[in-house]
Structure 1
Amino acid sequence: MISIIIPVLNEESSIIELLQHLQNNAVNASSMEIIVVDGGSKDATLQKVKNFKSHYKTTIKVVHSEKGRGTQLHNGSKEATQHILYFLHADSYPPKNYDQLIINAVDNGHPAGCFRMKFKSWHPWLIIIGWFTRFSWKASRGGDQSQYITRKLYDDIGGYNTQIPIYEDYDIIARLYGRDQYYVIPKWLKTSARRYHEKGVLRLQWFYITIYWRKYRGATIDELYQYYLSKCD
């Protein structure tokens, strides 16, 4: 019942670990399909996925796409055949029995949502950020928490916006909150803190807060993208 859609770009160091995690922590891995959407990897990501396919209990598809997470996510959705779409970043690891938890949430009247999130880090600030994801506030949401949504609702809201270069996760989340159709499953997903440690935890968090504040104050996507390029390329 679930199509897992994973956008990738040069993820050779982590993609197999994620695929193994998805297999080992699902209640029924054979009932799912996984769609790996590549945005033009130059490393061995695709070869590793192809080598792994024969060992997996379920279907794995590889889709080639233009670079851009929103575009990759949407192109993956077009290849999906299952009733529930589950969009997952390549460095985020959902909790044990994640597939059944998502199905239960949908069956209980929650057609879209995510998991709570913890970073794979003991940095105090990242622990605090993760702690706040237990709340239902829109400001506590982000793409690293993953995103499940029924096919019907995804089509109803128009899916991911492929015309924006950043903010694609928050854009679709905001639309779902606007319809009062968002649920946080009370289980913990774990995600990599690699980018935080590469850029500096406080520096990167200040950047994200500034992006959020500028958007709140009415900045256009183009203005936010130029700011992104100037500070975090």
Structure 2
Amino acid sequence: MSTKMDKNISIIIPVYNEVHTIDKLIDNLEQFKSLCEIIFVDGESSDGTDIKIKRKYKLLYSPKKGRSNQMNYGASKSKGDILLFLHADSILPGDALSQIEIVISKGYKIGCFKIEFDSRTILMKICSFMSNLRVKLRNIGFGDQGIFIKKDYFYRLGEFKGIPIMEDYQLSIDIKRDGEKIALVNSKIITSERRFVKNGRFKTMIKMQRLQHMYRKGEDIEKIANLYK
């Protein structure tokens, strides 16, 4: 693995009230700590998440709450030429940095990982398969797949839109319009199925498809966000 490229990677993780789940990610990131920049960006957590993170990692407090705002703020303070946006309930594969290096060296400006949910259910395995297929066929990548992007291109696209939901979807739409291809890394990122379990796996999948359809039609983003909640 070349550390020259790795040193130019900044991992940015937005967090909000993750005190009971953040330890798993904190442990996962230890293997990358000396190879790249790691930035957590807190959005006014009230449960002690920030205190736990500060023991080991760089933590910023975003002036504005919300995942898109937190990720943009982290990007503005980062030193790397490549930004990896990581959800707090996702776990990176051990070869994540080298895989990013390979993708970027091939001329891609953006990519994401294959996703696998931490579930043995057939329904979630199908969801994983469809998510990966979506990247290949529709050039749409979502945040739970660990989106990485060259910083200069990220800013040329206009960063993440300051919206309460669908910021990753909109970024993919902007990339498609610009004619760029999202590379799909073979290594898998493991993401929690918790948002699916909370309201029912199948019900949540149907709801997400409906909300994406509403977003494509240009319906009010606040209405979409409220329906998601």
Give the alignment's TM-score, normalised by structure 1. Answer: 0.88
Q: Aligned partners of 2:86, 2:174: CA distance in 1, in Å?
A: 19
SS of residue in 1 equivalent to 2:88: coil
Equivalent position of 2:183 in the other structure: 183
Which one of 18, 26, 39 corresponds to residue 19 of structure 1? 26
1:224, distance to aligned residue in structure 2 (A): 4.0
Which secondary structure does the structure 1 equivalent of 2:160 belong to? coil
Number of equivalent positions: 218
How do residues 79-228 of structure 1 correspond to structure 2 at under 5 angstroms? 79-135=77-133, 136-138=136-138, 141-162=141-162, 164-179=163-178, 180-216=180-216, 218-220=217-219, 223-228=220-225
Deviations 1:120-151 (A, max 9, x none): 11222211010123331337632110110011
Change (3 A) 1:140 1:156: closer
Percent of paired sites with the same residue? 30
Instruction: Check the 8 A contact 2:164/2:221 in 1, yes or no.
Output: no
Distance (whole Å) between structure 1 residues aligned to residue 200 and residue 12 of structure 2: 29
**From 27, 32, 35, the counterpart of 2:36:** 32
Q: Is the 8 A contact 1:12 1:45 kept in 2?
A: yes
Matches within 5 A, 1:69-84: 69-84=67-82
SS at match of 2:19: coil
For residues 159 and 187 of structure 1, the distance between their equivalents in structure 2, rounded to whole angstroms, comes to 26
Partner of 1:62: 59
Structure 1 residue ranges without an equivalent (≥5):
54-59
8 Å CA contact 2:90–2:191 kept in 1: the answer is yes
Compute the TM-score of the two structures, normalised by the length of structure 2.
Answer: 0.89
* Structure 1 residues 199 and 83: CA distance shift in structure 2, 3 A: same
Structure 1 residue runs of 4 or more that deviate by more than 6 Å after TM superposition: none
Q: CA deviation at 1:177?
A: 2.2
**Mean CA deviation greater in 125-134 or 145-154:** 125-134
CA RMSD of aligned residues (A): 1.5
Q: Which amino acid aligns with 1:209?
A: Q
Cα shift readout 1:35-92 (whole Å, capped 9, x = no counterpart)? 11000000111111122x2xxxxxx321111211110110010010011100000001
Q: More deviation in 34-43 or 13-22?
A: 13-22
Distance 1:176 1:140, change over 3 A: closer
Q: In the alignment, is the contact (CA less than 8 A) between 2:139 and 2:182 conserved in 1?
A: no
Uncovered stretches (5+) of structure 2, i.e. residues with no partner: 1-7
